[in-house]
Amino acid sequence: MPDRSERALWERGAAGDGGAFGLIFDLHRDRVFRHAYRILQDVHDAEDASAVAFLELWRRRRQVRLVEGSPLPWLLATTTNTCWNLDRAKRRYRTLLDTLPHSTIAPSAEDAALDGLVADGELAAAMGTLSRADAELFALVAAEGYSITDAAVVVGVSPGAARTRMHRIRNNLQQRLGHHTLAGYLSKEAT
């Protein structure tokens, strides 16, 4: 038999007392979550269903029918309905996605700008090992043709530091690739 204190909490919660409603939530959240998980078999969906059920409990608190002084049966029934609705919405969404034409993804502006440079998969992998600042510097100088001095301003380093970095980047990439693929790009290192 439910504790009478739950009925008192519910009466305060139904009257708009958020603290009492929070205690009702604490009292039943695990049970509601387990019920949702049993139906949906997905943790994230079960969390969503539980949240919706408690939101509905708050929203409809004046119409909720208690069973032996507890809103739990109402919550469990609402959770079941919420689970069915979430599952139905997921199936509809998947069906919609399946009916859409599948096309190739348009490359981003960054990908398009480096397209010729990173056509070689090995080069792309080697560039992926660079720090963000080094990758930006390399892209500006090697791919876009900016001077090291101009690129240094963008990256936020001195021109001397940029020259040193470009030398290190060139050696690093040439070592990783094992050949001189970058010769055409790195000859643009004018100041």
**CATH class in words for 4-99:** mainly alpha
Q: How far apart are CA 103 and CA 107, in angstroms?
A: 12
DSSP lists the bridge partners of residue 70 as 67
Please state which of the four CATH numbers 1.10.510.10, 3.20.20.140, 1.10.10.10, 3.40.50.300 is assigned to the domain occupying 109-186.
1.10.10.10
pLDDT mean values, one per 10 residues, the chain (191 residues): 72 91 95 93 94 96 90 93 92 88 65 50 68 81 80 88 90 72 50 44
**H-state helical runs in 60-181:** 72-99, 109-113, 121-127, 132-138, 148-155, 159-177
Q: What is the pLDDT of residue 181?
A: 54
- What per-residue confidence (pLDDT) applies to 190? 44
In the prediction, which pLDDT does 47 show?
Answer: 96
Domain with CATH 1.10.10.10 in the chain: 109-186
Cα–Cα distance between 11 and 97 in angstroms, integer?
A: 46
